[in-house]
Amino acid sequence: MRGLACVLMFQTHCYDSWLGGDARHGLFIKDSQRLGTLPAPLFLFLAGVSFALVTSKLVRKNATPGQITRAMVRRGAEIVGFGLLFRLQEYLIAWGWAPWTDLFRVDVLNIIGLSMIMMALLCGLVLQIRALRLRTPGLAVDPARGPCPASTAAMPVATIATAALGVVVLIALVTPPLYTTWRPTWLPWQIESYIDGCHNLGSPQPWLFCIFPWSGFAFAGLAVGAVLFSDWARDRTAQALAYLAAVGAAAILIAYQLDHSSLQLYSTYDYWHTSPNFFMMRVGMLLLIAFLTYAWCRWGLATRGSSVWGFSPFIQLGQASLLVYWVHIEFVYGRFSILPKRAVGVATATRGLLEICVSMLILSMLRTRVDWNALRVSLRARISQPAG
């Protein structure tokens, strides 16, 4: 799924940066931007699924709730750090014409990291409560018994999934008022932007990523991941994903009906940006994509491609998604753009998109398939070898 998200991200960024003239106002770029609403939810959703996988492994190793929480908070903080470094890099490269406020622009990396921190706190709380219940019949703690493992068998799937879904519903419901009547305008805009994406422009911006509603996709991934990595689903992956796909299809139908009904919960209704109905629609699409991606990789062309080429391009891109995200921005939006910005037609932009896809695929292979340590040792040995 990360590879698919990367390709969708590439096409969105390339056409947005390079198309100009009539092509910039036609149906083609509108369809491209609609597809562009999927990469960020996909990345966040997969961050939640990956979080569930790592947490499940730590639980099975009998790590304590505190150890699990600290480990996952550190990982989330690292991702936030990468996001801040990315913004600093962009500002330095664009030195001279980029405003200083760009340093505080909230991007998807920031929200992935913050979502991981919030998920760590939620899972830590759930695991701590379970550990207390496992230790004694009541909730009393005996200090003499030492640290209690988070679980003696597996992660409390039902509890974590239910808690994560509760957070998802809460985020979806409070997003519209947080963008309108409940806006925290009393906060500095650098902090408020993490809540409603206002940046320094005075009002929420749809092109920015903030906690509401975007972190909801990460918690949806956490709920799905908790189910997928349960003891029941480990031996029934296809069946579990099929059930989840059915839930996703039902969510899409319900969201469609609610959007076309006369029921209105909010005075201001913005379907494409803050509506809980559109949020539900996208979560349903993510569940369908998860099943289709699994089917593609297990029974479809990805398997055949792997047998012919030795790898699947989508899987390969997904293995270095952070790197290709970081690098491709400079060759699409930055000073090193391979095509003039807002100045070419669809055919030329499509050629540039293919070049970006191929070059990022090669970069990901260099990242994951070359043993750089062994190569460095070999070069040092050759250099130090006496001549003759």
Residue 64 domain-assigned?
yes
The type of residue at 128 is: Q
What pLDDT, in 10s, does the model give residues 3-19? 788 888 998 999 999 99
Residue 282 domain-assigned?
yes
Nearby residues of 230 by Cβ (< 8 Å), 6 or more positions away: 154, 155, 157
Residue 76 domain-assigned?
yes
Does residue 150 have a pLDDT over 50?
Answer: no
Phi, psi values for residue 344, rounded to 5°: -125, 170
Query: Which letter, b or e, does each residue of 251-280 get, where b requires 16 or more Cβ atoms within 10 Å of its Cβ?
Result: bbeebeebbeeeeeebeeeeeebbbbbbbb
Q: Closest by alpha carbon to 204, among 305, 213, 119, 254?
A: 213
What pLDDT was estimated at residue 135?
66
Does residue 139 have a pLDDT over 70?
Answer: no
Most trustworthy range by pLDDT among 176-190, 265-279, 313-327 = 176-190
Residue 347 domain-assigned?
no
Angle at 160 between CA 66 and CA 137, to 5 degrees: 70
* pLDDT average, residue stretch 238-262: 92
Please answer whether residues 32 and 16 qualify as being in contact, where contact means their C-beta atoms are separated by less than 8 angstroms: yes
* pLDDT average, residue stretch 68-88: 93
Number of alpha carbons in the 13 Å side-chain half-sphere of residue 36: 17
What pLDDT was estimated at residue 354?
94
Does residue 330 have a pLDDT over 70?
Answer: yes
Structural domain total, the chain: 1
Secondary structure in 3-state letters for the chain: CHHHHHHHHHHHHHHHHHECHHHHHCHHHHHHHHHCCCHHHHHHHHHHHHHHHHHHHHHHCCCCHHHHHHHHHHHHHHHHHHHHHHHHHHHHHCCCCCCHHHHHCCCHHHHHHHHHHHHHHHHHHHHHHHHHHHHCCCCCCCHHHCCCCCCCCCCCHHHHHHHHHHHHHHHHHHHHHHHCCCCCCCCCHHHHHHHHCCCCCCCCCCCCCCHHHHHHHHHHHHHHHHHHCCHHHHCCHHHHHHHHHHHHHHHHHHHHHHHCCCCCCCCCCCCCCCCHHHHHHHHHHHHHHHHHHHHHHHHCHHHHHHHHHCCCHHHHHHCCHHHHHHHHHHHHCCCCCCCCCCCECHHHHHHHHHHHHHHHHHHHHHHHHCCHHHHHHHHHHHHHCCCC
User: Which of 23-37, 68-82, 298-312 shows the lowest per-residue confidence on average (mean pLDDT)?
Assistant: 298-312
Does residue 373 have a pLDDT over 80?
Answer: no
Most trustworthy range by pLDDT among 34-43, 44-53, 261-270 = 44-53
Residue 177 domain-assigned?
yes
What pLDDT was estimated at residue 304?
55
Count of other CB atoms within 10 angstroms of residue 341? 14
What pLDDT was estimated at residue 142?
42
Residue 357 domain-assigned?
no
Most trustworthy range by pLDDT among 90-99, 245-254, 321-330 = 245-254
Does residue 310 have a pLDDT over 60?
Answer: no
What pLDDT was estimated at residue 52?
93
* pLDDT average, residue stretch 222-251: 91
Most trustworthy range by pLDDT among 215-219, 295-299, 310-314, 365-369 = 215-219
What percentage of the chain reaches a pLDDT higher than 70? 87
* pLDDT average, residue stretch 14-43: 88
Strand partners, 344: 19
* pLDDT average, residue stretch 181-196: 93
Residue 359 domain-assigned?
no
Higher-pLDDT residue of 317, 81? 81
What pLDDT was estimated at residue 145?
43
* pLDDT average, residue stretch 239-261: 93
Record the pTM: 0.86
What pLDDT was estimated at residue 323?
86
Please answer whether residues 329 and 51 qualify as being in contact, where contact means their C-beta atoms are separated by less than 8 angstroms: no
Higher-pLDDT residue of 371, 202? 202
* pLDDT average, residue stretch 143-168: 70
Residue 314 domain-assigned?
no
What pLDDT was estimated at residue 130?
84
Which residues span the domain enclosing 161?
Answer: 37-299
Does residue 136 have a pLDDT over 80?
Answer: no
Q: What is the mean pLDDT of the chain?
A: 85
What pLDDT was estimated at residue 211?
94
Does residue 146 have a pLDDT over 70?
Answer: no
